[in-house]
Amino acid sequence: MDELTLMRQRHSVRSYLEKEIEEEKIAVLEKTIEECNKESGLHIQLVKNEAKAFDSTMAHYGNFHGVTNYLALIGKKGPDLE
């Protein structure tokens, strides 16, 4: 099964632990993100320790709690963005 199929069959976790990500894991994530950005033309971002990110009305639609770290996947609109 490829990544896109897995993403489409996603399982949402909406309640998160207040636990910091270890520096070693952050380094691996950032290296992987850099490689993906170069290959894909996307602008993936790792956002860390941002308590207000899911504090809006729209974010409450997903009923997320305790989110402070997340990945933002950003790309220019177009037919091949997927």
pLDDT, averaged across the chain: 80
pTM (2 d.p.):
0.64
Residue 10 pLDDT more than 80? no
Residue 45 pLDDT more than 90? yes
Pairing mode, if any, of strands 45-47 and 70-72? antiparallel
Count of Cβ atoms closer than 10 Å to residue 54 Cβ: 19
Where residue 5 falls among pLDDT bands split at 50, 70, 90?
confident
79 three-class SS: coil
Say which range, 9-13, 54-58, 59-63, has the weakest mean pLDDT. 59-63
The answer to whether 71 and 46 have CB atoms below 8 angstroms apart is yes
Residue 59 pLDDT more than 60? no
Over residues 64-77, mean pLDDT: 81
Query: Cα–Cα distance between 31 and 3 in angstroms, integer?
Result: 19
